[in-house]
Amino acid sequence: MAAANGSRLANLRFLVGLARAAGGALIFSLPLLMTMELWWLGFYMGRLQLALLTLVTFPLLVLLSHYVGFERTFDWREDVVDALAAYAVAVIMAVVLHPLLVIAAPGDSFSEIIGKIALQAVPGAIGALLALSQLGQAQEEDGSRRRHWQEEPSYPRELFLMLLGALFLSLNLAPTEEMVLIGHRMPPLYSLLLVVLSLLLMHAFVYSVEFRGQHDPGNGHPGHARLFLHYTVAGYGIVLLTSLFILWTFGRFEGIGMLDVVAITVVLAFPASIGAAAARLIL
């Protein structure tokens, strides 16, 4: 009797979780869903690149569930199940919204529709998983997980969150022509200045995260130089690699010289670095 009740309750809670996940998927994927450059990328971008993006996203979702999810145990199977459920929510959301907004219409080939949905599922699944785990924490009466993190911040987790923030922001901005245009127009000196500005802003975020997490001032507070190397520089490295990967995935480097590749990457890395730094503060 009690077991049946428990399982019914578990099902109900999961359904509530799914509804929440749908909300998260919507918030995270709407900006991209309503950008026509992204619809075009859905059919013309390289199939290998799109397959790679999907295959890279999935382990990231599992890791996200692992690092941000509200389970106290480190059960990888559970994380995989959560990541799959989040992916399902994102795909269903895309399947419903594409025909409704006539982004997928009669006459579109299967390949075209799959491409659009595959692209849309990436930010959607991130949003769904964040909503499943993050908003779920509010329902948990004990905040033990969060406190546990603040006492023992894990360096890989921090780097992962930066990667996620960078990925999300660059996914949103890389499809637009403007990244390439700005990159083409910037003189090398300006690119250099943009790198400095990105680093400074990132460090400001890093510093404020440290400040927030510090309950006991003066007790083992890491020095500025160490913070700068460990978080800002390492984070910016992750940001650059993420921007490079996304731009390559979207075919933005085709027929472009090495200097422009660097310039465009630096341009995209600017918002991506803010995303990376802010992700640590928010999540």
Partner 1 sequence: MAGQRGTGHGSPWAQSATEWIAAGVGLAALLVITGTLLFEVITGNGHPPRISAQAGEITTQDGVFHIPVELTNHGSRTGAGVLVVGELRDGEGEVVEEAEFELDFLPPRSTRRGGLYFDLDPHDFELSISPRGYHYP
Question: What residue ranges bind partner 1 (CB under 8 A)?
Answer: 6-7, 9-11, 13-15, 17-18, 40, 43-44, 47-48, 50-51, 54-55, 58, 69-73, 75, 78, 80-89, 91-92, 107-112, 114-115, 117-118, 121
Q: What is the spatial distance between Cα 131 and Cα 128, in angstroms, rounded to a whole number?
A: 5
The residue (of 157 and 230) whose beta carbon lies closer to partner 1 is 157
Give 132 or 194: the residue with its C-beta nearer to partner 1: 132
Least distance from partner 1 to the Cβ atom of residue 258, Å: 22
Structure tokens at 202: 């990132």
The first and second tokens of residue 180, run together, are 């390439």
The residue among 130, 281, 128, 126 whose CA lies nearest residue 213 is 281
Question: Least distance (Å) from partner 1 to the CB of residue 53?
Answer: 9
Shortest CB 9 distance to partner 1, Å: 7
CA triple 25-30-36, angle to 5 deg? 140
**What is the Cβ-side half-sphere exposure of residue 196, based on CA atoms within 13 angstroms?**
6
Considering the complex, state which of residue 59 and residue 222 has its C-beta at the smaller distance from partner 1. Answer: 59
The nearest distance, CB 173 to partner 1, in angstroms, is 18
Spatial neighbors of 66 by CB under 8 A, at least 6 apart, are: 74, 76, 79
Q: Which is nearer to partner 1, 112 or 210 (CB)?
A: 112
Please tell me what DSSP assigns to residue 1. Answer: -
Minimum CB separation of residue 93 from partner 1 in Å reads 11
Least CB distance to partner 1 at residue 273 (A) = 29
How far, rounded to the nearest angstrom, does the alpha carbon of residue 42 sit from its chain's CA centroid?
19
- Token pair 């890389």 in the structure block, residue: 174
Asked if 129 and 21 count as a contact pair (C-beta separation under 8 A), the reply is: yes
Burial class of residue 201 (count of CB atoms within 10 Å of its CB; 0-12, 13-18, 19+):
middle
